[in-house]
Amino acid sequence: MIYALFLIWVAVSSSSAQQFYDPSGCSSDTSNQGSRYTCDSAQQPCRTFLVYRANQHFGHQNLLNISALFQVESDELLDLNNIASPLETLKRGREVLVPINCSCSGEYFQASLSYIVSERTSFPEIACGVFEGLLKSLTLLQENPSQGTDVETGVKLDVPLRCACPGGFARFNGVKYLVTYPILEGDGITPLSMKFSIAPEDLLAANHLEPKSTVYPNTTVLVPLKSDPVINLNVPDSPPPTPGFLPTITVEKTKNTKLRKLYIAGSVVGFFLIVVALLACGFYVKAVKKRKGERLQSFTDRNSVLSCSTARSSPRSGQTGRSSTNSCLSPDLLAGIKFSLYNYGIEDIKRATNDFNEDTNKIGEQVYRGLIDNESVMIKQMRFEDTRQVIDMHSKINHVNIVSLHGVCYGENDFAWSYLIFELPTNGCLRNCLSDQANRLSWRRRTQIAFDVATILHYLHYCIFPSYAHMSVNSRNIYVTSKWRAKLANIGSTLAISASTMNDKVVTVNGLVAPQNPMNEAASVKVDVFAFGVVLLELISGKEAAQGTFLKDSIRFLGGGANEGGCFEQLRSFIDPCLKNEYLIAEALCLAILAKACLEDDPLRRPSMDDILKVLGRMV
C-alpha cells in the first residue's frame, strides 16, 4: 500500500515538475502549452538564474548595462561570470548568467521586472530584442493591456520573464535550479547539455521533450542543475544547417579578338590620361605652395611693425608701463602660431569690458565678459609668458568641444598684463545652467553634456602627442552653447600640463583630494578622470562640487550595503529634484556607478576615457 502511494506521489510530482516546451517563436501571437511555465499556489518562491547574451545593438555590451536592465548588483554578476570589470566590453553574444527571484503569480511562474522605454518601439522589439526572447511579446502585451501596438518613450512596462522553480520530485532528484536559456540559431540539445555538463536525457525530461526533438530559435528551454550554474564557454554552438546543393551551369569561354583589342586600346588611353592628371596635380600643388609662401611672408612683414597696445599698461596690472619701440608681437612668436589670431589694442579691450567693470563684466578670477563687433567674448587677463603657452596649445588642437581662441592683446612690455580673447558660448558655464531653477537642464541635455566633455578629454588623452592632462576640469570651466552642447575652457593654462611631466602625489579636484602615485604618462591623465567623476555627480544631483566630500559620501550606498529597493530610493533622493520623474532610472544608476568608478582612490583602478566614452555613447 505504501509503495503504491509512493508511486502515485512520484507520478504526480513528476508531471508537475516537468514544464512543456513551446516551439512557437518569441513574436508569435499564439499562446501554447509552455508559452509560460505553470505552477500552483502552494509552490514557494525560489532564487534561480537566466542566461542573457551581450548585445551592442541595444546598448547591453557590459555588465554595468546588463545589471541595470535586470536590476541586480553588478558585483554579483562579476563573481558569477568571472569578469574583471563591470565596464569591460563583452564580445557580441557572450553568455552571461543573471540571478533572478522566481515566484508563482496566479498559475504561472515569473520573474517580475519593470522597464522604462527609452525610445518609441513595439512589444516584439522589447520582448524579442531587448530581452532576447526571455518572454513572448504576447505575454508582454497581456501584462500591459493599456498600451497600444506601439509603445511611447517614457512608458513604464511590467515585464514577467520566464522562469520556474523545481517541483517536489525534481528536488527529490537533487535538482536545485531550473535555468532559463534562450535558444539561438545553431543551438541544440547535445551542445547545450555539454555547455552545462548535464545529461541530454535530463534536459529533455525537464522540458517534456522526446529524444531527437528539435528546438527552435527565439524559444526557451529550462536547464536542470544540481549545483550552482557554470557555463562552459569553450563548447561551440551547433553549426547552422548546410544549404542544399545548387546545380551549376558550365559557361563556355568565348574568344572575341575585336573585344580584346578594344580592352587593350582603352587601357593605353586610360594610362595616358592618368599620367597627364598626375602632372597637372603636381604643377597645381607647386603653385599653391608658392602662393602660400608669398602670403606668409607678407603677413610676417606687416606684423613685425605692428603694436597691439598703448604706451601704458592695463589698468588691471597694477604696474607702471614704460614706452618701447619694440613690437609686442615679434616675428619669432608668429613663427610658432599655426593659425591666425586677431590683434587687439588695449583700448579695444577697455571698450569691450566697460573699462574692466567688476560689477557688470567680471565673470571669474581675472576673466571678463565683453562685446567685440557685436559678438559676446570672454577676455582673460594673464601674464605675458603664460599667453604664449596658451597660444601654443591652441595651435596644436582643433576640436569642436573646445572654447575657441579668437585673438590676443599683449602689454607693451614683459611686465604688463596681456589678454586673450575667447568665444563665449551663449548659455554660459555649466554651473550656472545647473543652478538656474527657472530654466532647468533636462536629463537628455545632461547626458549629452557628459558625453561632450568625455569626448574632448578622450581627444586630449589619446589624439595628441604627448597626451595632455587638463588638470582643471570642473563645472565652471565647461560652457554650454545655444544648442546645449558642451565646450571645455582653460586649455593650455598653467594648471593643465603635459601628462609626461606630472609627478605630484596628491591633487585637489573640486574640493576632493585625488590621491596619485608617482606618475608615468599613462597614470597622470587619471586626474582628469577623477574630476570628470565629480562633474558627473553635479550633473546627476545639481549640487555644486564645492562640497566635494559631501557628493562623494552621497553615493556610498552604491557600494553594495543597501538592498535593491533601498538603493533605488537613495538614488532617487540624490537626483536633482528639478528633474522630477523625467529621467530613466537605469541611466541614472549607470551614471552614478560610472562616477563612483571615476572617484576611486587608486588612480589605476579608475576607468580610462576610452572606457567612459563607450558607456556614454549608448545614452546619447
Q: What is the DSSP string of 591-617?
A: HHHHHHHHT-SSGGGSPPHHHHHHHHT
Dihedrals phi, psi of 420, to nearest 5 degrees? -115, 140
Q: Which of 155, 227, 165, 241 is nearest to 197 (CA)?
A: 227
Q: Which of 405, 384, 417, 441 is nearest to 583 (CA)?
A: 441
Residue showing cell 604664449: 388
Tens of pLDDT, residue by residue over 108-142, are 999 999 999 988 889 999 999 999 999 999 999 99
Distances (CA, A) of 554 to 470, 544, 570, 618: 26, 13, 9, 25
Task: Provide the pLDDT for residue 248.
Answer: 40
Q: Which of 571, 579, 542 is nearest to 554 (CA)?
A: 571
Residue showing cell 552642447: 485
Let me know the angle formed at the C-alpha of 92 by 90 and 96, rounded to the nearest 5 degrees.
Answer: 60
Q: Following DSSP, what letter does each residue of 242-267 receive, concatenated?
A: PPPP----PPPP---HHHHHHHHHHH
Rounded to whole angstroms, the Cα distance separating 318 from 312 reads 11
Q: Where are the beta strands (DSSP E) in 33-167?
A: 46-53, 95-105, 108-116, 121-122, 150-151, 156-161
Q: Report residues of the chain scoring pLDDT below 50.
A: 1-17, 238-255, 295-338, 497-505, 518, 548
Fill in the amino acid letter for 113.
L
Rounded to whole angstroms, the Cα distance separating 165 from 183 reads 20
Distances (CA, A) of 536 to 425, 509, 532, 569, 597: 21, 13, 6, 19, 11
Rounded to whole angstroms, the Cα distance separating 110 from 101 reads 8
Task: Provide the pLDDT for residue 29.
Answer: 86
Chain center to CA of 248? 50
Q: Which of 405, 446, 603, 465 is nearest to 535 (CA)?
A: 446
- Residue pair 187/213 in contact (Cβ under 8 Å)? The answer is no
Task: Provide the pLDDT for residue 258.
Answer: 67
Instruction: Give the list of residues 6+ apart from residue 378 with CB closer than 8 angstroms, or none.
Output: 363, 367, 368, 369, 370, 403, 421, 422, 423, 424, 489
Task: Provide the pLDDT for residue 594.
Answer: 94
First to last CA, the chain: 69
Task: Provide the pLDDT for residue 318.
Answer: 37
Numbers of helices and strands, H then E, in the chain:
20, 20
Max intra-chain CA distance, the chain: 121
Q: Which of 179, 185, 181, 180 is nearest to 217 (CA)?
A: 185
Task: Provide the pLDDT for residue 580.
Answer: 87
- Look at the chain and count its residues: 620
Task: Provide the pLDDT for residue 620.
Answer: 84
Task: Provide the pLDDT for residue 515.
Answer: 58
Task: Provide the pLDDT for residue 130.
Answer: 93
Dihedrals phi, psi of 307, to nearest 5 degrees? -110, 130
Task: Provide the pLDDT for residue 32.
Answer: 84
Handedness of CA 496, 497, 498, 501 (dihedral sign): negative
Taking the CB of residue 262, how many other CB atoms lie within 10 A of it? 11
Taking the CB of residue 418, how many other CB atoms lie within 10 A of it? 27
Q: Which of 579, 568, 575, 599 is nearest to 445 (CA)?
A: 579
| Domains contained in the chain, CATH given | 17-225 (no CATH), 342-423 (3.30.200.20), 428-495+506-617 (1.10.510.10)
